[in-house]
Amino acid sequence: MTRIILTRHGQTLWNIEGRVQGSLDSPLTETGLLQARSLALRLKDERISHIYSSDSLRAVNTAEEIRREIGLETLTLNTALREFSFGEWEGCRWQDLRNNNPEIFKIWDSEPHLVTTPGGENMELVTKRAWDFAQQIIQAHKDETICLVTHGVTLKLLITKALGYGVHEWAKTPWQHNTALNILEVEEDQWNPLILGDCQHLNES
């Protein structure tokens, strides 16, 4: 049985400012670094053998905290774990986008899977690239514990797929706050959730 630990990066400057990040980046805040360290301490005894991270710096810095705490020598980066690309929206404030594009956001709020962002991706594309990568990791590391560090929308889509829901049902799975922890056991095609969207380590810190 393979154990998959899925998590999101710590809080960033653009998270605070309400800006769209996507494939762009902004640094972890002081709070974000503390969140990453708290997560790393929580994962210290999980016997993680490999860590894979999005190549976005906010995810890399979060993954590095985990790597150092558990004593692994290497961290592997992969673009498949990047955040949903929001194209022309990236760097803009969410509220400004809502004010300027009310018709698009009417759909986004009720059926976001129907939206392809201008110059960006849609949920089907993101789910496929992230899920295909997760399947490769499972095949490469049977009976091990693997940690994947990714982003809010990508992570939620992965969890949605793992629990057997379609992309259009993504509202049925928990939102993934900064450093939210998900642990699932995978045997053949069955994904058994042990922990979903948990941030208990933040309360304890």
Per the annotation, does 131 bind a ligand? no
Active site residue 64: no
Q: Known binder of ligand: residue 13? A: yes
What Å distances lie between residue 32 and 58, 136, 191, 196, CA to CA?
Answer: 9, 29, 29, 20
Known binding residue 141? Answer is no
End-to-end Cα spacing for the chain = 31
Q: Is 50 a catalytic residue?
A: no
Catalytic residue among 65, 83, 90, 121: 83
Whether 31 has a binding-site annotation, put simply, is: no
Q: In the numeric block, which tokens belong to residue 67?
A: 């790597």
11 is in an annotated binding site: yes
- 58 labeled part of a ligand binding site: yes
Angle at 155 between CA 43 and CA 204, to 5 degrees: 35
- Among the listed residues 9, 65, 90, 151, the single catalytic one is 9
164: left (phi over 0), alpha (psi -120 to 50) or beta: left
Is 71 labeled as ligand-binding? no
Binding site per annotation, positions = 8-15, 58
Residue ranges of the annotated binding site for substrate are 8-15, 58
The residues annotated with a catalytic role in the active site are 9, 83
